[in-house]
Structures are given as C-alpha cells and as structure tokens.
Amino acid sequence: MNYIFTHHSGNLNNKEKKRGLILFFNSILKNVKGCKVKFFTQNLDKEIPDELKDIFKNNTDVIEVVKVKHLRLNIGSHCQRFFYYIDYINKHHDEFSNSDKFMHCDNSDVLFFDNIFDKLDNDDKVHIFREDERFLLDNGALNTEWLFHIGHQVLIDRVGKNVVCCSGTILANNLKSFISICTDMCFAMMRCITSTGDLMNDQGIFNMIVHDTDHLIYSRDMIEFHRNEEPDLIFTMGVVDYDHKPVNDRIFVYDRFPSVIHQYNRHPEVFRWAEEII
C-alpha cells in the first residue's frame, strides 16, 4: 500500500486554502490509484467546509481524517505534524508493513498528475527535494532567518552554501525510512526547542539535519537529493518564473513531466488552469 500523510492547521474556510485543498484531494483521487491519505487536522467538524466534508464522506476508502490536538510544545503546527505521524504509526502499527511507500506533503499547494509511488524503488531511500538552485540558505531570506533562530550564525556558516531543501515534500521508499526521517525531525526539534521556542520552523530544522548529517540518527545513510531542475518526481514552483507550460493536462518544465507540482498557487495562471483540468 502507498500512503500520503498530510497535515493542515488554520482556517479551512479561507477561500484560497479551501480551493487548494479541494484540488489536492481531487488530484489524488483522479491520478493516484491504490493509495490511502491520512489527513491530520486540528479543526473541529463544524470548522470543515461542506465541500471538503463531501469529499471525505464519499471517499472513506481512500481518505481518513485524523483529528489531533495541538501539542503542549512551544513549536509551530508545521513542526508538530512529524510528531503526529510517528504517534499515529505507533498506535496503528498493524495497518502498515515495511514494504509500504510513504509521502509526506503539504496540501493546499500540491497537485498530483500521476502515481508517483510507481517511480520508487524497494529500498530504504528517503527522497529530499531541493528548491531552485539559485536559492541558497545564506541568501538572507526567510530560510536564513529560520536557521539563525536554530543555530545562529554558526549554523549558517556551516550549511549556508547549500541549496534550500523543501520540508513540504518528502518521499520514503518504505516504512523504515519514513519512520527514520520523521524521528530524526522530532529529535532535532526537541534538542532545539529550548533555544528557539515558537520561532522554530520545520524547514529550518529540516535543512539543518539534511545538510549537517551529524544531526541525523536514523536516516543518515538513506538520504537521496533531487534537483528541482530535473523534476522527474516533484517540481517546486516557488516564486520564480519558469518556462513551464500545460501539455495534455500536465505541466511540462525542464523537458520533463513531473508527477507532482508544489507551490503552484504562487502562479495565479497555473491555479486557474488546475481548476479547469482537475
């Protein structure tokens, strides 16, 4: 079985977020056969819009809504999702086998165009996806700030010349590798929590551990990096203008058709196109 683990916090009735979530789930239902989605949310039933409730009710064989509570940890919700994942697997371990494949991803800015799991091998790899190669960790933008909150200038000097890696899309070839990267994220956050508190961001933690592997306990030998400029699996659109175009209900970019696009909502024309074809 293939699993998509995803988490959403905040207002599900936000117009753009709601539209993005509907597209996210519909793209999975249309293009990713033979998978199950675990949708972790802190929202109460009354806070879930009817359009999403209908998708959940009509697709209970694919989508499970997992209600979670905000953890009593001084960290943001994007950090907490990795704790939710580990806790769920521990409580439902009979559901999973080591041959299962996993994807952790954001949701309201993610679209699936084919079954990405079919492209994964049967080994212990964890797939890490770089953003645009022009974006380095020390370029002074948000990623630099997130690193500074964790390890100050010392950490920036150590890892800053690396390309930003995205914590919003991670693939794992089996259960062992998925648990390993999630556990490494949780351990790293617990080590940093006293110095960062609510300033902690999961992308800062993520880039610290994948680029300074002394912080990796379980997944050190599993990491495989992917260039955004060779997007066979995932293409992160971000805020950069690319020479991309829709071809046969797919996005064609860098002479490839990626299985998944991420952060497409930062390109209004792509959002409008997605609503037409999904």
- Could you read off the pLDDT of 221-255 as tens digits, one per residue? 999 999 999 999 999 998 777 888 889 899 999 99
**Encoding tokens for residue 260?**
């998944």
CATH number at residue 62: 3.90.550.10
Which amino acid is located at 206 in the chain? F
pLDDT tens-digit profile of 157-181? Answer: 999 999 999 999 999 999 999 999 9
Long-range contacts of 183-190 (CB under 8 A, 24+ apart): 183/86, 183/217, 183/218, 183/219, 184/209, 184/215, 184/216, 184/217, 184/218, 184/219, 185/82, 185/209, 186/82, 186/83, 186/86, 187/217, 188/215, 189/75, 189/79, 189/82
pLDDT at 198: 58
Per-residue pLDDT at 140 exceeds 90: no
pLDDT in tens, 123-139: 999 999 999 999 999 99
pLDDT the model gives residue 72: 82
- For the stretch 68-120, pLDDT in tens is 998 888 788 889 999 999 999 999 999 999 999 999 999 999 999 999 999 99
* Mean pLDDT (whole number) for 192-221: 86
Distance CA(221)–CA(22), nearest Å, equals 37
Collapsing DSSP to helix, strand or coil, 80 comes out as: helix
Please state, for a pLDDT cut of 90, what percent of the chain lies above it. 79
pLDDT band at 277 (very low <50, low <70, confident <90, very high): very high
Quote the CA–CA distance of 235 and 131 in Å, as a whole number.
Answer: 8
Angstrom distance (rounded) from CA 201 to CA 162: 18
Predicted confidence at residue 9, as pLDDT, reads 84
Q: Are 86 and 190 in contact (CB under 8 A)?
A: no
Instruction: List the domain range (segments joined by +) for residue 144.
Output: 2-277
Entry pTM: 0.96
What are φ and ψ of residue 234, in 5° steps?
-135, 140
**Whole-number pLDDT of residue 207:** 96
**What's the confidence (pLDDT) of residue 266?**
92
In Å, how far from its chain's centre is CA 61?
22
**pLDDT at 199 (0 to 100):** 66
DSSP lists the bridge partners of residue 226 as 129
Residue 24 parent element (H or E): helix 15-31
What total number of domains does the chain contain? 1
Asked whether 86 and 182 are in contact (CB, 8 A), the reply is yes
* pLDDT score at 196: 56
Residue 139 CB coordination number (10 Å) = 12
